[in-house]
Structure formats: structure tokens, C-alpha cells
Structure 1
Amino acid sequence: MKKPYANFAFFLLGIMGLALGISLTILSDLGTSPFDAVLVGLSIKVGLTVGSWEVLLAVLMIGCNSLLTRHRPELLGLVTAVITGVGIDLWLFLLGSVVTPEIWSAKAICFIFGLVLIGAGTATYLLTNFAPIPIDRLTLIIKDLTRTDLFVSRTLIYLGFLIVAFLVGGPIGIGTVLTVCFGGLILNFFMKPIGKALNATLHTES
């Protein structure tokens, strides 16, 4: 028997872990994922917070995903994006004056920890089967269309956003390259063990 409240709790845990990971990569100053680099670049150039741009781009991507799947727009994905955006802004506010790595090794630790959290958090909330963030829904759509795995689909999407991030002046660095190379691999790595753990936790014998 499924445990709905526990399921929602793990959904929130995954989202907040994802948001924390994104915030740590931003604060590492080594470069973020291409998508997050777009958010930061728009925040610097146009204004508004990073989390606000998460929501605004989510609206655009919901429309794109609807066209690709030829289904109605997945409006619940906007709710997930709002929670994620709030989480990113919250973590940046709480950690902005605390996490200020200056030497390279500290920046590397901050970035690596953030990248792992992004993969684990994304896997956790996706496996609870709530509506995914539009970019993660796009990852799943590309995976199905190309008949590949999450590593390939995530990498293709990151390459596209890398171009956009460059155009808007987002924080592109060694961390961006590492995310393109390993972000999808890390997500794919966490899917199976976290899936098994959630299945054991969220279901009991009727």
C-alpha cells in the first residue's frame, strides 16, 4: 500500500536537495550547469532573482514540451518549478554570506558536492512521480524520442543551453564543462538505487 504523505515528503526533500545543489554550484564560482548559467545570466543582465527566472523559463518550456508530445500543457510542472525557484532563492539567501570559497580546492569541494546533490535530488523527486520541472520533463521526452538513456538526453539539452548561456553572459567555467560531461551520468547513476530505496520505503504489504 502506497504512503502518499511520505511520497510528498520525499518529493519536497528531492526538490530542496536539488535547489541546494544548484545554489552550491552557483556559489562555487566555478561555473554552473548550462541551464542554471542561463538563469544567473538573465538575473544579472535583466534583473529579478535566479528563482524567478526558473519559473519564467518553466512557463516557456511547458509550451515547448506540449508541442513535442502533442499533449496538453503540463501545468503541474509549473508548481514544481515554483517550489524549486523558491528553494534556490532561499538557499542563496541563507548561504550567500556563509559559503564564500576563495581557494581553488574549497571551490572544487563546493561544486562537486552541489553537482552530486543535483543528481540525487533530481532522481529522488522524479521517482516520486509528481509533475517534474519542465527541463526534467524535456529530458524524459528527449530520452523517449531518441530511445537512449538519461545521460544522453541530459547531455543534449545541456549543450543547447550552453549556447544560450554564452549569449546571455551566464557563469560558464570548468564547472559547466563538468556538468555537461557528468550531470546526466550522475543522474542516471542515482536513479536505480534511489528507486529501490523509495520503493521499499513508500510501499508496504496490504
Structure 2
Amino acid sequence: MDLNTVSARRSPVRRLAQLVGGLTLYGASMGLMVRGALGLNPWDTLHEALSERTGLTFGLVTGLVGAVVLLCWVPLRQRPGIGTVANILVIAVAVDGTLALVDPPEAMAVRIALMLGGVVLNGLATATYIGIRLGAGPRDGLMTGLAARTGLSIRVVRTGIELAVLAVGWLLGGTVGVGTVVYALAIGPLTQAFLPWVTWRAPAPTTTAA
């Protein structure tokens, strides 16, 4: 048995492990930014506001919002993958687990460290689960589906969605601050920098001699 055959057989296990690992890191990064309390990304601003108003845990709200967004895929004719479902479930558990383990700090230096660490970890996590190519997350699929249906660019659609979500979250009482700005400026470059290290590539096909 050659190395390519062994690699091909191991690929599903490796890809699933990377998917779960990436989504777990993503949830952890969200929890760190929440504990930093210096500003959240647009979707988490909404999640925090809904959590405070409903009394539901942050992770449960994240999962419920993801499920609602997934329903919006139907008229957009988007098809979910295993990564789409895992995105909803794993992140919800990971963020609540992180919030249970990490207490809110009082020192500003610790809060800044949590915020910056959360942003960097989020960039790595985003690259990790995107690079494995097992299905877009609900929010990413909404973005690509709207872009395809409207003819607008991904940049315009994403900006519009995130500004709308941020505005609603802020009006409902979610945290907006310097962390929100840092995230907006850094997440793209960070994800791009990490992608080459975590993108899955199919094993090269073997050739047999005639």
C-alpha cells in the first residue's frame, strides 16, 4: 500500500478533526473577546444583546441565531454541508465552555490581552475551518447566497450585513468598542495569513505502470 492510498483513507478523519478543532477555537476566541469586554465583532454584539435580554446563555443564542440564518438559505438556494451544521453546534458549546472557565478580569492589561488574543485566535480558527472545505457557516453562506442572487460583490454584501447586525446589536445593548474596530481591521489579514498553513489539499492521484 503506497503513501498516497494511506493519506486518502486518513483524509476524512483528518478533515473532521480539523473542522471540529477550528470551530472549537472559534468559540473559544469569542469567549475571550466577551471576557475582555472591550468590543465584539458585529454578530457577537447581537448575540450578547440577545443573551442579556432573554436570559439564555451566549452559546445557546449563538446556535439559535445560526439556525435562523440557516433558514434564510432556503430562498437563496444554498446547500449546507457537514461543516454548516457543525458550525452551529460546536461553536455554541465551545463559547459557553470558555465563558465558564474564564472569569471576567478587572485589570485593563488582562482585558486588552484577552481581546487581542481573541482576535488572533479567531483569525486562526476562521482559516482552519474554511480551509478544510466541508461547508460554509450559516452567516458565510448567507453572505455568498445574497451576493449570488443580487449580483453585488462579496465585499458590499458582507459590509452591509455586518453593519446592519452591528447596528441592531448596539441598539439592543450589545458591546461596541475598540475591540470591534480591531476585529474589523485585523480579521481579514489574519485569516489570509493563516490559510496557507491549514488549507486542505487532496492527495495527488496515483498512477500505475502499464
TM-score interval, normalised by the smaller of the two chains? 0.7 to 0.9
1:86 alignment counterpart = 93
Structure-1 residue corresponding to 2:4: none
Shift in Å at residue 162 of structure 1? 0.7
**Aligned with residue 13 of structure 2, among 5, 15, 32:** 5
Q: Superposition pairs for residues 118-197 of structure 1, below 5 Å?
A: 118-141=122-145, 145-148=151-154, 154-195=158-199
Cα displacement (A) at 1:164 = 1.3
Other structure's SS at 1:132 match:
coil
Identity, % of aligned pairs?
27
Q: Deviations over 1:34-66 (max 9, x none)?
A: 101111111111111111111111121112233
* Structure 1 vs Structure 2 CA RMSD: 2.4
User: What pairs up with 1:80-119 in 2 under 5 angstroms?
Assistant: 80-95=87-102, 97=103, 100-119=104-123
- The match for 1:48 is 56
Asked if residue 37 in structure 1 is aligned to residue 37 in structure 2, the reply is no
Question: Residue 194 of structure 1 aligns to which amino acid in structure 2?
Answer: V
Q: Distance in 2 between matches of 1:123 and 1:157?
A: 21
Structure 1 letter corresponding to 2:91 = T
Structure 1 residue 25 corresponds to structure 2 residue 29: no
TM-score normalised by structure 1 residue count: 0.82
In structure 1, what is the equivalent of residue 66 of structure 2? 58
Amino acid aligned to 1:168 = L
Letter in 1 for 2:64: L
Q: Distance in 1 between matches of 2:108 and 2:58?
A: 24
Letter in 1 for 2:56: L
Structure 2 gaps, min length 5: 1-6
Deviation at 1:31, TM superposition (A): 1.2
Report the equivalent of 2:3. Answer: none
Q: Distance in 2 between matches of 1:89 and 1:20?
A: 8
**1:32·1:173 contact (CA, 8 Å) conserved in 2?**
yes
Instruction: Tell me if the contact between 1:61 and 1:134 (Cα under 8 Å) persists in the aligned partners.
Output: yes
Q: What is the aligned residue count?
A: 195
The one-letter amino acid paired with 2:63 is V
**CA–CA separation in structure 2 for the residues paired with 1:103 and 1:118:** 23
Whose radius of gyration is greater, 1 or 2? Answer: 2
Q: CA–CA distance in 2 between the matches of 1:146 and 1:188?
A: 22
In the alignment, the residues of structure 2 paired with residue 93 and residue 180 of structure 1 have an alpha-carbon distance, to the nearest angstrom, of 26
For the 8 Å contact 2:39–2:178, the answer to whether it is kept is yes
In 2, Cα distance between equivalents of 1:155 and 1:188: 18
- Which amino acid in structure 1 is aligned with residue 115 of structure 2? F
Instruction: Note closer, same or farther for the CA distance 1:67–1:38 as it changes in structure 2 (3 Å cut).
Output: same
Q: CA deviation at 1:107?
A: 1.6
* Deviation of the 1:126 alpha carbon: 1.5
